[in-house]
């Protein structure tokens, strides 16, 4: 089993995001972390390896500092890490990034499964997985909550997708692109043995030449999507009302009336 898991380095969930008048987003000196949704994908990748053998490569497109996210993934149990970056890739949108990742996955070669978290917590688009699958010509199994069966010999997989309407069982041939939801597992802690391994790991950087990326398809200048304006959500407002009444029954009844009037119940 040759497994690739893709990850993105994002600002910490605890970071306070600020947006200025020029639509610049900043998060002070809050740390950058592995995208929390990706931790489930990494955990599932490691579990697949533990069950079926093979190896897990973690892949990220991003600047030098994204190495830390890759190291974290190796500390959890991934075997190898690859960083894809050069200045020409800066500012690539989701369309371009899916192209870059697909090219990198082709270069890795004979991959059976590519795993993603369901989305990244910064852009929250959830578009990359579909783009990568399309470019590779592989099926996309999105929002997977359970891998029911995987037969490496028969190159087949059966998964359970978590949809708003319920669960859907899907079978597919390998290779596939999978995006996972948090119901799939509980990500492990990095072990100290693997932290040590990660700290010593030499992570190769593949530039656009190495993965045969066409310059006209990537970077800020070639982005198909433009962020014309970014603005913070208006702060939530609320008010407190203490309901009084002669008896607990009367108070409860008044509360129920108000909740029904607001269409909450």
Partner 1 sequence: MDFEFSREHQALRKLVREFAEEEVRPATRQADRTSQPPLDVIKKAAAIGLLGVPFPREYGGLGAGETGYCILMEELGRVDTSVATVIGAHIGIGAMAIYLGGNQHLREKYLPDLCAGKKIAAFALTEAQAGSDAASIKLRATREGDSYILDGSKMWITNGPLASVMAVLAVTDPALGARGGATAFVIETRHNGSPAEGFTPGKYEHKMGLHGSPTSALSFDNFRVPQENVLGQIGLGFVVFMQTLDVGRVSLGAATLGGAQSVLHHALEWAAMREQFGKSIAQNQSIQFMVADMAAEIEALRSLVYRTAWLVDNHKPFIKEAGMCKLLGSEIASRCVDRAGQIYGALGYSRDTDVERSYRDCRITEIFEGTNEIQRILIAEQLFREVGVKIRP
Asked if 195 touches partner 1 (CB under 8 A), the answer is yes
Site map (CB under 8 A) of partner 1, residues 196-215, x = contact: x--x----------------
The tokens describing 183, both together, are 């119901």
Q: Which of residues 142-181 bind partner 1 (CB under 8 A)?
A: none
96 neighbors 61 (Cβ within 8 angstroms): no
Least distance to partner 1, CB of residue 55, Å: 21
Q: Which of residues 81-140 bind partner 1 (CB under 8 A)?
A: none
Q: Which of residues 224-253 bind partner 1 (CB under 8 A)?
A: none
Calpha distance 145→183 (Å, rounded): 5
Of 69 and 178, which CB lies nearer to partner 1 in the complex structure? 69
Q: Which stretch binds partner 1 (CB under 8 A): 88-96, 111-119, 146-154, 189-197?
A: 189-197
Calpha distance 222→208 (Å, rounded): 14
105 neighbors 113 (Cβ within 8 angstroms): no
Q: Which stretch binds partner 1 (CB under 8 A): 33-41, 134-142, 185-193, 234-242?
A: 185-193
3 neighbors 115 (Cβ within 8 angstroms): yes
Least distance to partner 1, CB of residue 190, Å: 7
154 neighbors 135 (Cβ within 8 angstroms): no
Calpha distance 143→204 (Å, rounded): 30
Calpha distance 88→105 (Å, rounded): 19
Least distance to partner 1, CB of residue 39, Å: 13
187 neighbors 39 (Cβ within 8 angstroms): yes
What length is written for the chain?
A: 265
Question: Which of 21, 29, 164, 189 forms a contact with partner 1 (CB under 8 A)?
Answer: 189
Question: Which of 154, 193, 252, 256 forms a contact with partner 1 (CB under 8 A)?
Answer: 193
Asked if 63 touches partner 1 (CB under 8 A), the answer is no
Of 15 and 195, which CB lies nearer to partner 1 in the complex structure? 195
Least distance to partner 1, CB of residue 195, Å: 5
In order of 191, 239, 260, the CA distances from 252 in angstroms are: 51, 19, 12
Asked if 192 touches partner 1 (CB under 8 A), the answer is yes
The label of the residue with tokens 């970077």 reads 219
Asked if 191 touches partner 1 (CB under 8 A), the answer is yes
204 neighbors 83 (Cβ within 8 angstroms): yes
Chain residues that interact with partner 1, rule: CB under 8 A: 188-193, 195-196, 199
């Amino acid at each position: 089993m040759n497994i690739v898991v893709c990850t993105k380095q994002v600002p910490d969930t605890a970071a306070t995001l600020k947006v200025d008048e020029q639509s610049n987003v900043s998060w002070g000196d809050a740390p950058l972390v592995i995208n929390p949704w990706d931790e489930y994908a990494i955990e599932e990748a490691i579990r697949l390896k533990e069950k079926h053998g093979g190896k897990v490569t973690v892949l990220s497109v991003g600047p030098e500092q994204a190495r830390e996210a890759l190291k974290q993934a190796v500390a959890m149990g991934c075997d190898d890490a690859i960083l894809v970056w050069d200045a020409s890739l800066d500012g690539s949108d989701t369309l371009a990034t899916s192209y870059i990742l697909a090219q990198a996955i082709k270069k890795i070669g004979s991959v059976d499964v590519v795993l993603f978290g369901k989305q990244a917590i910064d852009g929250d688009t959830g578009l990359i997985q579909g783009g990568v699958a399309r470019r590779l010509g592989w099926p996309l199994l999105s929002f997977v909550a359970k891998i029911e069966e995987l037969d490496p010999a028969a190159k087949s997989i059966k998964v359970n997708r978590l949809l708003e309407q319920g669960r859907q069982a899907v079978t597919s041939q390998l290779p596939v692109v999978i995006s996972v939801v948090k119901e799939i597992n509980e990500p492990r802690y990095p072990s100290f043995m693997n932290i040590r391994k990660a700290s010593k790991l030499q992570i190769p950087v593949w530039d656009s030449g190495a993965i045969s990326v066409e310059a006209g398809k990537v970077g800020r200048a070639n982005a198909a999507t433009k962020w014309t304006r970014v603005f913070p959500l208006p702060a939530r407002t609320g008010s407190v009302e203490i309901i009084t009444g002669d008896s607990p029954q009367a108070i409860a009844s008044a509360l129920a009336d108000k909740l029904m009037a607001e269409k909450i119940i």
